[in-house]
């Protein structure tokens, strides 16, 4: 049994001021803060025979999120973007309170990519009272991020289920950067017959290869330059597969050695996994696909990245 709190959620008054400012700037974008208004809005869209593209986010929008909204706009009549920093997916000692919440800027960015409706509920609106139910996806959540952050994926699966239930039949767009999250949400939608088509979208990167992330703002300038090593390790892992290496442990050790050569970086893991089951094969089979996944720490900031590789 748990209740959910969110100490640094903006007050209703602050939220109203920000939302009103956005509306006064005469964007046609609609901003809703209640579950009932969000559900009613998208029900009305569908009764007009228009399709819905859902983009769930925790805000602090960057080009990666905007690419999801653009993909949704290309394939759906109406784009619904959600902004909600979900307390359930943060563990004790993680950055829930410090997580960036630049709501005004987020609304401007959402309007710039022609999002039609933004759903930005408070924690109390999303989790009124006791929260007795949670969604657990087995197996896929036992490895990688799940092994490091035990309740994280239950929090993600629970809030995404709530968002899917509120949004109704739609296509939902998730970034491949959180590759394990994408695999978990895909499996959940299949297993629970959720009326949602889950769409994975490519990672957006800085010129030096760093994957865009809302947490990149935590990096010091020195850590930011060193952070290029994350993607470099993956590319070197892929190059060793291209050169004929088929032993999984050898490829992982190769990626780990690349990270170890960067003094500001500390490796959490570098793994080669099956892209659907997330199981690590002993040897890579010809004709198979694998995903190279890594997490590297720079101080207290953990950076995730991954790369798909076809095995010849």
Please state, in angstroms and rounded to a whole number, the distance separating the CA atoms of residues 145 and 194: 24
Closer residue to ligand PAF (CB): 178 or 262: 178
Cβ-based nearer residue to ligand PAF, 180 or 294: 180
Name the 3-class secondary structure at 65. Answer: helix
> What's the rounded Cα separation, in Å, for the pair 244 and 311?
9
Contacting residues for 291 by C-beta, under 8 A, at least 6 apart: 179, 272, 273, 274, 275, 278, 306, 307, 308, 309
* Min separation Cβ 85 and ligand PAF, Å: 8
Element (H, E) at 40: helix 35-47
Q: Which is nearer to ligand PAF, 115 or 160 (CB)?
A: 160
Pairing assessment for the beta strands 117-119 and 78-83 based on DSSP bridges = parallel
Q: Which is nearer to ligand PAF, 156 or 238 (CB)?
A: 156
Residues 30, 35, 38: CA angle, nearest 5 degrees:
30
Supply the minimum distance, in Å, between the C-beta of residue 230 and ligand PAF.
18
Between 184 and 238, CB nearer to ligand PAF: 184
For 274, phi then psi, to 5°, come to: -70, 135
Backbone phi and psi for residue 59, each to the nearest 5 degrees, phi listed first: 75, -160
Polymer length of the chain: 312
Nearer to ligand PAF, 102 or 281 (CB): 102
How many Å apart are CA 84 and CA 229, to the nearest integer? Answer: 31
Q: How far apart are CA 291 and CA 306, in angstroms?
A: 7
Integer Cα distance of 213 and 100 in angstroms: 11
Spatial CA neighbour of 312 closest among 231, 246, 235, 250: 246
65 is catalytic: yes
How near is the Cβ of 112 to ligand PAF at its closest, in Å?
Answer: 19
Residue ranges binding ligand PAF (CB under 6 A): 56-58, 86, 89, 156, 159-160, 178, 181
Q: Tell me the H-state helices in 136-227.
A: 144-148, 152-167, 179-191, 221-226
Q: How far is the CB of 226 from ligand PAF (least distance, A)?
A: 24
Supply the minimum distance, in Å, between the C-beta of residue 83 and ligand PAF: 9
**Least gap, CB of 82 to ligand PAF (angstroms):** 7
Tokens in use for 252? 């992982």
Q: Which of 41, 65, 152, 254 is catalytic?
A: 65
Active site residues: 65
């Amino acid at each position: 049994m748990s209740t959910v709190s969110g100490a640094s959620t903006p007050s209703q008054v602050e939220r109203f001021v920000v939302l009103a400012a956005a509306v006064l700037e005469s964007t046609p974008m609609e901003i809703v803060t209640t579950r009932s208004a969000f559900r009613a809005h998208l029900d009305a869209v569908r009764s007009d025979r228009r399709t819905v593209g859902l983009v769930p986010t925790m805000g602090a929008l960057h080009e990666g999120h905007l690419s999801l909204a653009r993909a949704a706009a290309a394939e759906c009549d109406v784009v619904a973007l959600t902004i909600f920093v979900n307390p359930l997916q943060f563990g004790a000692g993680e950055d829930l309170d410090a997580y960036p919440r630049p709501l005004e800027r987020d609304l401007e960015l959402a309007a710039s990519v022609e999002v039609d409706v933004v759903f930005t509920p408070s924690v109390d609106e999303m989790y009124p009272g006791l929260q007795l139910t949670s969604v657990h996806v087995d197996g896929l959540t036992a490895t990688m991020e799940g092994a490091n952050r035990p309740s994280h994926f239950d929090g993600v699966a629970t809030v995404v289920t709530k968002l899917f239930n509120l949004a109704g039949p739609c296509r939902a767009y998730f970034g491949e950067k959180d590759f394990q999250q994408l695999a978990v949400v895909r499996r959940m939608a299949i297993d629970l017959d959720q009326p949602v088509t889950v769409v994975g979208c490519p990672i957006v990167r800085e010129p030096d290869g760093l994957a865009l992330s809302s947490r990149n703002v935590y990096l010091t300038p020195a850590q930011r330059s060193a952070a290029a090593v994350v993607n470099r390790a993956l590319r070197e892992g892929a190059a060793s597969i291209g050169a004929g290496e088929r032993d999984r442990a050898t490829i992982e050790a190769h990626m780990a050695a690349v990270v170890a050569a960067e003094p500001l970086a500390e490796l959490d893991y570098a793994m080669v996994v099956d892209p659907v089951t997330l199981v690590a094969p002993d040897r890579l089979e010809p004709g198979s696909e694998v995903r190279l996944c890594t997490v590297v720490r720079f101080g207290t900031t953990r950076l995730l990245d991954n790369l798909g590789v076809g095995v010849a």
